Structure 1
Amino acid sequence: MGCRGGIGPIFKKFKPHLLMVLAEVGYTFLNLFSEASFKHGMNPHVYVTYRQLVAGVFVFPFAYFLEKISLAPNMYSASLRYTSPTFAASIANIVPSLTFLLAVLLRLEGLDRSTRGMAKIVGTLVSLVGVMIMTLYRGPVLRNLGHALVHVQGSTTIKENWIKGPILIIGYCISASLWFLMQAVTLKKYPAQLSLTTWMTLVGGAQSAVFTACLTHEPKAWTVGFNIDLWNILYCGVVVSGLIFYIQLWCTKEKGPVFITTFNPLAALLIALLAYFALGEKLHMGSIIGGVIVIIGLYLLLWGKEGDHVDQIKSQEASLSYEEPKEGSQDKGVYLGGEGDKLRRSLDV
């Protein structure tokens, strides 16, 4: 009994952290599977459309029985055709800093002159410097230690373009940051995460279908065979756009939008390791240096954010201790507190 009582509170406290770690592992395989599918010839915009629709169909039954946005994934998928999963995941580490910066501009986040308040500002600036280094400085290529463990045979050659690629991934970061903030605002008025996931994926799939139809005029591009393209769509639709989107919404409701974005570096690290050792991908020194700087800035921001959480708990405890009278008190007085700030009187009879 004692063991259970000890593990239960700890698991409850770190449940959002564990879920976000699992979510980042899921995103890691998304990058690798997507790159393999695009090399095989899959159109990235068609892929996003099918992925969103599969996710909506998968989540809909859960939302119906348990509970009575498409621009970002399109830009991210397109960026993988011009750069690499490691580079894209490293640049995506700017999302936490951008989310914080936009939250301040939209007055959803406060700033002060305390040590933790300054850590937020410094962390944001450091992260931006790291991203600029990864974008502008590639550096020498690290020598592969051995042969690639996995070889992806494809009919399409992906040409690197270090102008289009970074522009697309930075556009994704801005869209994703706005998306996370919109989630936090929406969940306050519509707290049903499963239903919201269903609506987001179905509407996102419809938007992506229109967008893809405008760019892709070949009917052959919409054909999916029984190969890596199909498995990639099913995995990303069910696991990423379905389960992971729901996990993110739940964690956003519990911890806020900045919290869930602070786990991005974990996916970047896993992607870099898998791509380098398993796929034999080139790893540039600029990506390593910039990635380390981004992570340092990111966790400066996280440390500053943790102060807000501590201050909020102290404020709530002080408010409760002031508003609630002690049990058995015989003092005459008027107390203002309780649900809805109702006036409660305690009088001797």
Structure 2
Amino acid sequence: MSIRSQAKINGTGATVAGAMIMTFVQGPNLNLPWTRKLGIQEQKQGEVTLQHTIIGGSMIIIGCFSWACFMILQAVTLRTYPAELSLTAWICLLATAEATTLALVMEKGNVSAWFIKWDMKLLAASYTGIFCSGIAYYLQGVVMKARGPVFVTAFSPLNMVIVAVLSSFILDEQMYLGR
């Protein structure tokens, strides 16, 4: 096995291990000045059970594995299909078809769920679709084509840290050392 392959496997393993540590280890509360202190009643409502922790850990493992497979598939596809923008359009179109199918199954005749309302939910979905998916996939393709998939995936663990910090600012979530 080549050194590059070993580095990729070790990097994926380190990412999964870091995600598991963040999931299973709950250290002390980081009393950050911008988050409010929780009362005893609020702490009990937000308790995490062992079952939730196991399900969350399993979902993280599945997510990390799926993301690694997607990156490999995108890198292989870009070798034979060099149009990054067109590939991004195909990825988003197929994701829309999959999400629509899943929504049809989950909503089971709830017609009101399909009405478009001009509110924050529409804005959030539009922002996520345009910026978090469309532009991000395009930029990943460009960088992947120029530098390779390892360069793109090297920044994936940083996403969890950024989300944790922003959730403490925006959503006023308590941060713990670990979970």
TM-score interval, normalised by the smaller of the two chains: 0.7 to 0.9
Listed as ranges, the matches of 1:10-159 within 5 Å are 110-111=2-3, 125-147=13-35
Distance verdict in 2 for CA 1:203–1:249, change over 3 Å = same
Q: Which has the larger radius of gyration?
A: 1
Counterpart position of 1:62: none
Is 1:173 the counterpart of 2:61? The answer is no
Counterpart position of 1:216: 107
Say which SS state the counterpart of residue 140 (structure 1) adopts.
strand
Asked whether the 8 Å contact 1:142–1:282 carries over to 2, the reply is yes
> TM-score, structure 1 length as denominator?
0.42
Counterpart position of 2:41: none
Asked whether the 8 Å contact 1:144–1:280 carries over to 2, the reply is no
> TM-score, structure 2 length as denominator?
0.78
Is 1:237 the counterpart of 2:129? The answer is yes
Distance verdict in 2 for CA 1:172–1:228, change over 3 Å = same
Provide the C-alpha distance between the structure 1 equivalents of 2:163 and 2:46, rounded to a whole number of angstroms: 18
Provide the C-alpha distance between the structure 2 equivalents of 1:256 and 1:276, rounded to a whole number of angstroms: 33
What is the root-mean-square deviation in Å for CA atoms of aligned residues?
2.9
Q: Is 276-285 or 175-184 further displaced after alignment?
A: 276-285
Counterpart position of 1:79: none
Equivalent residues, number: 167
Say which SS state the counterpart of residue 272 (structure 1) adopts.
helix
Distance verdict in 2 for CA 1:182–1:220, change over 3 Å = same
- Which residue of 70, 74, 80 corresponds with 1:183? 74
Distance verdict in 2 for CA 1:123–1:247, change over 3 Å = closer
Shift of 1:246: 0.6
Provide the C-alpha distance between the structure 1 equivalents of 2:83 and 2:152, rounded to a whole number of angstroms: 18
Shift of 1:226: 1.8
Counterpart position of 1:226: 118
Question: For each residue in 1:186-213, what CA deviation from the matched residue of structure 2 results, as whole angstroms up to 9, or x when unmatched?
Answer: 1111101111111111122112211221
Counterpart position of 1:254: 146
Question: Which has the bigger relative contact order, CA under 8 A and spacing at least 6?
Answer: 2
Asked whether the 8 Å contact 2:19–2:60 carries over to 1, the reply is no
- Which runs of no fewer than 5 residues in structure 1 stay unpaired? 1-103, 105-109, 149-156, 288-349
Distance verdict in 2 for CA 1:224–1:281, change over 3 Å = farther
Percent identity, aligned pairs only, is: 35
